[in-house]
Amino acid sequence: MIHNGSKDPVINMVNYLANSSGGADAPRFYAFIEVADDPYWTWKYAGKNYAAVSYREDPVPDIYSDDDPAKEQVQIDKGRVWVVSLGGSDNTSYIKRFHSKKKMLDWMLKTKLIKVDESYLWWNS
């Protein structure tokens, strides 16, 4: 169950992301990270664009996104099996794949501004 009783959209978003009812295999919310440009899918707050960044604790060696399966399979075949998801205010979100858990965690810790490029895969969240 997700508490959604606030009139403040910030609190409602935090409540949604803090919900752990997805079970042990569900993505873990990490942080809101600013997104470059003005994409329609981001979550707007205080004049800036943000994505809710979540990660998987275990590798995901299967197709996870709703993007072109062949495009994602190329990344999987290259060993990119660690997944970060970028959620916004629309059903359109993105995932980014990494070669190792360390690279994934380093990216999350060091990234201050996300610039979505061709390496990201579309995901209907």
- Categorize the per-residue pLDDT at 21 as very low, low, confident or very high, splitting at 50, 70 and 90: low
pLDDT greater at residue 33 or residue 21: 33
Instruction: Please state, in angstroms and rounded to a whole number, the distance separating the CA atoms of residues 94 and 96.
Output: 7
pLDDT tens sequence across 111-124: 999 999 999 999 88
Instruction: Please state, in angstroms and rounded to a whole number, the distance separating the CA atoms of residues 80 and 121.
Output: 12
- Categorize the per-residue pLDDT at 45 as very low, low, confident or very high, splitting at 50, 70 and 90: confident
Using alpha carbons, select from 111, 110, 109, 81 the residue that is nearest to residue 96: 81
